[in-house]
Amino acid sequence: IPKGTTSPSVNSSTLSSSTSPPAPEQLRYENMSGSCVKSPYLPGPRMVLYTVFGCGAVLAVFGNLPVMISVLYFKQLHSSTNFLITSLECADFLVGVTVMPFSMIRSVVSCWYFEDTFCTFYMCCDVAFCYSSLFHLCFISMDRYIAVTDPLVYPTKFTVSVSGICIGLSWILPIVYSGAVFYTGVNDDGLEELVSAFSCIGGCQIAVNQGWVLVDFLLFFIPTLVMIILYSKIFLVARKQAKKIENCNSKAESSSGTYKARVAKRERKAAKTPGVTLVVFLISWLPYMIDSVFYSFLGSMTPSYVYEIFCWFTYYNSTLNPLIYAVFYPWFRRAIKLILTGEILKDSSSTINLFPKKA
C-alpha cells in the first residue's frame, strides 16, 4: 500500500460503529448514513498530535528552503553534487507543503475536510514526492561513491549534465508511477468489494491491490539495496585510504600518535555522513514498507495508530534530510548566517567565499 493510503484497520472504528451507532457530533457529516467517524482523541492528546505533526511540516519547509536558496544564490556552490542535493531538498520541501499539512488533519481527525478530487491529487503528491526523495538519495549515494573511490576522474564522470539526468529521472519516474496508479483506476482492480465495505463518506481512502504493492516495494527495495551496497563500499574505501595515508606518512611524522589521531578523525568524518544517512533512512522507511507487505500478502492487521506512526516516520525523513546533507557542512552554516543577517542583499554577495580558509 503506497504512502498515504489507508488500510482496513484504519477504519475499524467504522465497523465497530455498526453495532453501536455513534452520536451525530462524532460523524463527519451529522445525521448522514455512511459518514466517516471522527477520531475519539480528547482535546489534550489532539493538541499534542497537532503540535508534533505541525512541527514536522514546519521543519520540512523551513529546513529545506534555506538549502535551496543557498545553493541557487551563491555561485561558489554551483556544482553537480550541490544541484542534486538542492533537488532533493525541493522534493522534501514539497512533502512539507503539499502532503504533511493535509496528512496531519487526516491522521488526527480521521476524516477528510477537502474536496474528493483533491484526495486523489494529495495521494499522488504523497507518493510522487516521497519516492522522488528516495531516488535522489540513491543518486547521491552514487555520486559520493564515485567521488570517494575515483576522486581524480570524478569531475569528468559526474558532470552537471549527468547530475541533470539524475535529477530528471528522480522526478519523472515517481510522477509517472503515481499518476499511473491513482489516475487510471488500476490501483483497486479486484478490490471493489473491499473498497465498498471500508469506504465512508467524508474520508480519503484509496486501496491498492497486491500487484501494485509489489511494484511499490520494488521501487523501495532496489534503490535501498543500491544505497546499502554503495555506502558500505564508501566506508571500506575510506578506511583503506586512511590506512594508506598513515603508512605513507608515518615515517615523516615525528609524533606518530598525533598523526594517527588526525587520520582516525578524518576516517570517521569521511564515513559519518553516509552512515548517518543510511541509518536514518532505514529507520524512517523500513517499518512502513514491512507493514505494507505483511498486510497485503499475509493479511496481518495493523492498529490504526501504529499505521499512522509508520506513515509519519517516512514523512519525517524529509525533515531530517536537510540536517544530514546540509547542517553538517560549514558552508551551509555560513550561508544561513548571510541570509538571516541580510548580507545577501548587498552587491556581489553571491560571490562571497563560503568555505573555511583551511579547506
Q: How does residue 138 score in pLDDT terms, banded at 50, 70 and 90? A: very high
Locate 349 and state its grid cell.
554577495
Give the span between the Cα atoms of 243 and 17, in whole angstroms: 66
Give the span between the Cα atoms of 304 and 199, in whole angstroms: 15
Query: Does residue 237 carry a pLDDT above 70?
Result: yes
Which is higher by pLDDT, 181 or 33? 181
Q: Provide the pLDDT for residue 50.
A: 92
Give the span between the Cα atoms of 218 and 223, in whole angstroms: 8
Q: Provide the pLDDT for residue 139.
A: 93
C-beta separation of 84 from 136 below 8 A: yes
Domains of the chain from N-terminus onward: 8-328 (1.20.1070.10)
* Main-chain dihedrals φ then ψ at residue 151, nearest 5 degrees: -65, -25
Q: How does residue 26 score in pLDDT terms, banded at 50, 70 and 90? A: low
Give the span between the Cα atoms of 51 and 48, in whole angstroms: 5
Q: For the residues of 295-348, what is the DSSP string, one character each?
A: HHHH-PPPPHHHHHHHHHHHHHHHHHHHIIIIITSHHHHHHHHHHHTTGGGSTT
Which is higher by pLDDT, 149 or 194? 149
Which range of 6-10, 11-15, 347-351 scores highest in mean pLDDT? It is 347-351
Residue in 1, 33, 58 with CA at minimum distance from that of residue 207: 1
Q: How does residue 161 score in pLDDT terms, banded at 50, 70 and 90? A: very high
Q: How does residue 90 score in pLDDT terms, banded at 50, 70 and 90? A: very high
Give the span between the Cα atoms of 13 and 192, in whole angstroms: 20
**What is the pLDDT averaged over residues 122-142?**
92
Query: Does residue 193 carry a pLDDT above 80?
Result: no
